[in-house]
Amino acid sequence: MTTSAHSIISGTAWSPPAGRPPLSARMMRATWRRLPAGRYRAGWEPGLVVPAADGSPLLTDHYFPRAEGDFPTLLVRSPYGRGLPWSPMYGVLFAEQGFHVVVQSCRGTGGSGGRFHLWRNEAADGRATVAWLREQPWFDGTLGTVGPSYLGYTQWALALDPPPELKAMVVQAGLHDPHAYFHAHGALHLENALITCLGMTHQHRGLAPFLKATLRLQRHMRRVTTAQPLRGAHISALGDEASWLDDVLAHPDAEDPYWSGARLGKVADRLKVPTALITGWHDVLADQTLDQYARLRRAGCETSLLVGPWTHNSAFQQGWPETFAETLAWLRAHLCADRSALRTAPVRVHVGGEDAWRELDAWPPPPAATSWFPATGGHLVRQAPTDRAPLASFRYDPAAPTPSLGGRLLSPTAGPRDNGTLEARDDVLTFTGPPLDEPVDVLGPVSARLTVSSDTGHAVVFTRLCDVDAQGRAINVCDGIARIRTAGHTPIEVTVPMSATAHRFRAGHRLRWQISAGAHPRYARDPGTGESPLDATAFVPVVVTLHADSALTLGS
């Protein structure tokens, strides 16, 4: 219902109230640079009550341009509260650009009624919120959604049965598959799971309680991640309300009924709502974003992809000017019929090593894949081996686990890092190519085909691609992990997806392939016995042997 139509029925026109956004939001807004100037002053209606699907009150803040006229509406549904950073990043900034913005606390969070349950109520509560919007005098019938991480999940949930008013989505580093987020080929994403649980449990309570809980988890991180068993160990650091994490980690099988209805990847297989996707190469949800893009393209949905040099958090810090500009251009194009800022190429990626942006017609681009092979003496060569003989072995001791270093983490240590200290360990194998005569571009998925064996029959293999510069520094580009089971010393072949990248290895640089048996506490320690890492109380060292017919594959 448009504003004018509502006015005819009710006999009154909606006038913007005089409320100003909270001081904290205005102060944060003043710190941002390289953002477009606002077109309007932003207004604020806090604490509106929207009935959820079961009648529970969902607390909602309404931001708006302080001007007469019709403006489209953006829906932002969050379990992390409605204050910082959501109030300035979405409420204020987009209201200044000519949008009504509805920022809502999910059920059981941020003062909303009912009980929060990961991913179970978002579809129904999203539909209930749209029904409420239809009754508002300022709603002109044009709706978009926007938001990162779990706020992306709430968008996919609404798109299960998209309302006719939904004309555009912008999923920023967004989640659609909770199972894949917590479990990777049999390995538990332990550190990210704990930090996620911290956010879900404490962030919606406000900045001070969240910071206090963050410091408490930091103090207890080592004790929690090395507990035997892991199950329940996080409660002392995160509180009783975090007990749901045990259930999440105790269901490693994607087909387990526990995940029924939670995995929303198939939404993109039939979606027709124009959808922009944003992520970073070191984002914990990069793989899910790239999967979303592939599904939307196959479905014929209008979509765009932006991938920056970011982690999950830095996309909304250092990367916020690019993220905001991309989001605003998409929303104006599809909600305001203004395509002037929309780029013509559907894909824009940052190329590491080159430190430049490229616009592409598709992802991944056409070039064929290339393979590199490990060889004696720690060399990485282009010539394929002629046998599958044992090549190198290392001993992994879970009592002194191989540490994680950089990569796709939620912690401040995420992203590219110098791997020198890691590669100096006895439990890390490295294979290094010769100095390159000319640049090598890798744009697309990276994977490892490993032929391995272990003396216990159980192990985890962690594999990483690094860029070695002229000074010998090895910087991680991408990586992956898989749990293996063998019949004693009998080798098996396993393919380990190492995600995707856009990276230029400069002339004079070298490729390095790194192989180990873990990255702790990023992933839970493998006990070496075949028992679940969540319940294991006995841990045994494992000798892992790599065989010659293994390969590192770069590109699609």
Least confident interval from 350-359, 430-439, 526-535: 526-535
Q: In the numeric block, which tokens belong to residue 6?
A: 């509502």
Is residue 144's pLDDT more than 60? yes
- pLDDT for 486 equals 79
Query: Quick one: which of 121, 73, 77 has its CA closest to 97?
Result: 73
In DSSP terms, 453 is beta-bridged to: 545
What percent of the chain clears pLDDT 90, i.e. is strictly above it? 79
Query: Quick one: which of 431, 459, 450 has its CA closest to 544?
Result: 459
Is residue 214's pLDDT more than 60? yes
Whether 436 and 521 have beta carbons less than 8 Å apart is answered as no
Rounded CA separation 289/280 (Å): 9
Mean pLDDT of 78-86: 91
In DSSP terms, 58 is beta-bridged to: 50
Rounded CA separation 32/51 (Å): 35
Q: For 233-279, how does the pLDDT look when each residue is reduced to its tens digit (9 = 90+)?
A: 999 898 888 888 998 999 999 999 999 899 999 999 999 999 999 99
- pLDDT for 29 equals 79
Is residue 556's pLDDT more than 90? no
pTM of the model: 0.93
Q: For 154-192, how does the pLDDT look when each residue is reduced to its tens digit (9 = 90+)?
A: 999 999 999 999 999 999 999 999 999 999 888 999 999
370-554 is a CATH 3.40.1710.10 domain: no
The class (CATH top level) of 147-176+264-363 is: alpha beta
Mean pLDDT of 76-80: 96
Q: For 273-306, how does the pLDDT look when each residue is reduced to its tens digit (9 = 90+)?
A: 999 999 999 999 999 999 999 999 999 999 999 9
Q: Which amino acid is at 345?
A: A
- pLDDT for 13 equals 66
Ordered alpha helix ranges (H), 299-382:
320-335
- pLDDT for 185 equals 84
Task: Tell me the C-alpha to C-alpha distance, in Å, between residue 329 and each of 65, 173, 276, 338, 556.
Answer: 18, 17, 10, 8, 30
Whether the bond between 434 and the residue before it is cis, its omega within 30 degrees of 0, is no
Is residue 217's pLDDT more than 50? yes
- pLDDT for 114 equals 93
Rounded CA separation 206/194 (Å): 19
Three-state SS across 453-478? EECCCEEEEEEEEEEECCCCCEEEEE
Mean pLDDT of 21-28: 78
Confidence of residue 18 (pLDDT cuts 50, 70, 90): low
Q: How many helices (H) and strands (E) does the chain have?
A: 14, 23
Residue, of 95 and 37, whose pLDDT is higher? 95
Rounded CA separation 221/223 (Å): 6
Is residue 323's pLDDT more than 60? yes
- pLDDT for 6 equals 41
- pLDDT for 195 equals 94
For residue 536, give every residue at least 6 positions away whose Cβ sits within 8 Å of its Cβ, in sequence order, or none.
228, 229, 230, 527, 529
Rounded CA separation 323/148 (Å): 11
Q: Judge if 1-141 and 147-176+264-363 fold alike in CATH terms.
A: yes
Mean pLDDT of 58-73: 96
Ordered alpha helix ranges (H), 358-505:
420-423
End-to-end CA, the chain: 47
Whether the bond between 229 and the residue before it is cis, its omega within 30 degrees of 0, is yes
**Where is mean pLDDT largest: 13-27, 169-183, 364-378?**
169-183
Name the one residue in this structure whose structure tokens are 């110098």: 418
Give 257-260's long-range contacts (Cβ < 8 A, gap of 24+): 259/178, 259/179
Q: For 374-425, how does the pLDDT look when each residue is reduced to its tens digit (9 = 90+)?
A: 999 999 999 998 888 899 999 999 999 999 999 999 989 999 999 999 999 9
What percent of the chain clears pLDDT 70, i.e. is strictly above it? 97
Rounded CA separation 178/284 (Å): 12
- pLDDT for 327 equals 97
Residue 125 has phi, psi (to 5 degrees) of: -70, -35
1-141 is a CATH 3.40.1390.30 domain: no
Delimit the domains of the chain by residue range: 1-141, 147-176+264-363, 181-257, 370-554
Q: In the numeric block, which tokens belong to residue 53?
A: 């699907």
Mean pLDDT of 125-134: 98
Is residue 485's pLDDT more than 90? no
In DSSP terms, 105 is beta-bridged to: 78
User: What is the distance, to the nearest Å, from the Cα of residue 19 to the centroid of all Cα atoms in its chain?
Assistant: 35
Least confident interval from 13-17, 400-404, 436-440: 13-17
Query: Quick one: which of 166, 119, 159, 125 has its CA closest to 142?
Result: 166
Name the one residue in this structure whose structure tokens are 């090395």: 226
Whether 121 and 128 have beta carbons less than 8 Å apart is answered as no
Q: For 95-118, how does the pLDDT look when each residue is reduced to its tens digit (9 = 90+)?
A: 999 999 999 999 999 999 999 988
Whether 556 and 364 have beta carbons less than 8 Å apart is answered as yes
Confidence of residue 489 (pLDDT cuts 50, 70, 90): confident
Rounded CA separation 352/345 (Å): 20
- pLDDT for 421 equals 96
Rounded CA separation 68/192 (Å): 45
